[in-house]
Chains A and B, each alone.
Chain A
Amino acid sequence: MIYGAGSARVLKRDLTLRILSIVLVALLVAGPLLPRWAMFLITVSLCYGMVVLGMMLLMRTGVVSFGHGLYYCLGAYAAGTLDVLFGVSDIAVMLLAAVAVTGVGSALLGLLLRKYRDIFFAMLSLAFSMILYGLLVKTSALGSSDGFNVAAKTLFGIRIAGTEFERYLIFAVTVLVAFVAAVCMHKYLASHMGRLAGAIRDNELRVEYMGASVRNTIHVNYVMSAVLAGLGGAMAAVSVGHIDPEMSYWTTSGEFVFVAILAGTGSVLAPFLGAFIFETIRSFAYEYSPNTWQMALGTTMLLVIMFLPGGLWSLFTRMRKAA
């Protein structure tokens, strides 16, 4: 967040938390009134937004992962296999499992990846996600390339499957998880370590001269982004009800990068807004013009890169600056 240097007024107030709270309350209250498709669209966008939130953190640090589908998929499978292996299908436990698996997995891979930058970071993470893809496609117990269905039956031990509140409760849980993730990320970005991200992107060597560890920061940010992707994946598994290895294919990861670029990295609100726009366009494009949808995506991406390097979010910051 850049505060207008040189302007006569004192620091502009940070409205992010207020906006987040308003959106939270609005969504929770309006939820039961929404038609099913709108509720589903918002749920899926929020899941997607969480993954993109993690991508945003990595991009602020100056690294781009072309393999974040790895954690999206890992989170979803961690949630899904709980039922297959242990007969557990409680949403809370599923989310915890996703956090644990992606947290441990990224902490281990991070030991390696934190040494890499630029294209090599992107390609090595791509390789790992494709390894998971290859493994899952060959695992017939988990449905190979077809994947399998996931059904969350309880929430904190209370049965929700088949009740009339099922859809709303899943929606509400997603809204709450996304809210908490966004608030935590906002606080983190303003913290000491969070602010290091931009410095690392600008010049690693200087950051090290000043006594901060570049690798540790990148590692921490990597784990955080992975856990967010895992949470997003697990919630997507619960709300969509089906998972397959495609979640770990490189084109899925490419979409995450795309939405992050489209949204911009200026605020924690941007990824959710970007994801919502993306999912909305996608659901309409699938309906009306399935064969030109990628073309529209590609063109949009080129336009954003050329004319709006800060992403859609930079439109808002420009407006605020002008005001």
Chain B
Amino acid sequence: MNVTAALLPLLIVVVGAILVLLLEAFWKRTDKTPLAMLSIAAILGSAAAAVRLWGAGASAFGGMLRLDDAALVFTMIFFVTVVFTILIALRYLPRQNANFGEFYGLLLLALAGLMIMVSSPNLIVVLLGLETLSVASYALAGLKRDDDKALEAAIKYFLMGSFASGFLIFGLALLFGMAHTLEIPGVTAAFAAPEGATLLGLAGLVLVLIGFAFKIALVPFHMWSPDVYQGAPTPVTAFFVVGPKAAGFAILFKLVAPYAPQALRSQKILTMLGVLAALTMLVGSLTALRQRNVKRLLAYSSIANAGYMMLAVISGDGAGLMFFLAAYLFMSFGAFGSLIAMGGGGREFHELEDFAGIGFKYPWIGGLFSIFLIALAGFPPLGGFLAKYYVFSEAVKKGLTPLVLIGLLASLISAYYYLRIIVFMYMREPERDIDLDVENPALYLVLFLCLYGVLQLGLFPGNVLFVFKQAAASLFL
């Protein structure tokens, strides 16, 4: 019973994915909406199966798959991410001439990979989930087969992803050599042992961390991400900046957080991560300053945001990390959703100049986009501010004041480039006429849900925060 309960959410998603792929192969239809609906139904079913486990937990395969509260919270974040992705892609794909039913199947497979990643304490299983996710992601990035940029994105993603996996696997081998286990608690216990870590073990840990740093695009392992994020179809980009990153941070957190109170050697690892965080925040923000393409700008902003999340990881603040991810989920989907709204006649208008005058011509798009940008810039009373507030204040409490100051500086820089988009939308006269396809109810549904999310998390996050705190407690078990 326990085994079934633990497997059920995953099973529903995988069955849904296979069903969608089969239907796509044998049921020739140009309208893919039923497939999308089927996918959403699968996710809702899975969510229903998952929610029942809250507080109780369940495990299968001798503990190789364990759904604790933290795993459930991350799973929920993934569900919302994927549902939003499907909804904003609904009209986007046909308009971009990329209406393949496989999109939904691949998305569900990626979701399954994500779920596996966060619900296993064993690093080998995590790796399996990661590979499932990655293979699906490579295909998703190259969905627009006739677009050079998309192909570049797919190949780059594939090459760099494989490279990162190489680091990861080698690191795992070394870790196993030291700890004789790849269960995360066992590994951390080996590092905490009185005789301390062996040099090779430490090297293994560093390699594993670098592997994940690639995946979540920390500077200096971020080179691939702007190209991939810019080249991939916009809904897929929105998925990339939230889903895989959330999973990567979850693993990273489990690996790193237990070291915080320990010996000197592991302190060095924290220092290394601190440097990565600082670089990520600064380089992400500074490079974003130079961008003229809004999609690429948001890609860099996602790098900067990864730096803030890194701060939560280093200070061992699980609830803060989850809260930041949740807020970032709504802000990003709001922003990328607005980018999708900036399309018309089969084209996408993502250059800064295209945004001139949009605020008055399309008040809803302009208004909503502005709100999400202001949230990303960290202005109260929106979700982004509170997310930063929690993360930064926890970090100050842990004595990470220099990193917090760098984070605040990065926020200041980021305010400039976010506000510059608003400058174009409201304070510049348009140079050419842009006609947008406004008919897109599913997109507006997502935008308004994101608006709700950003406001709710910014003003009354009480219950959400309570849930996250409870879940974060299970991270250390």
The answer to whether A and B assemble together is no
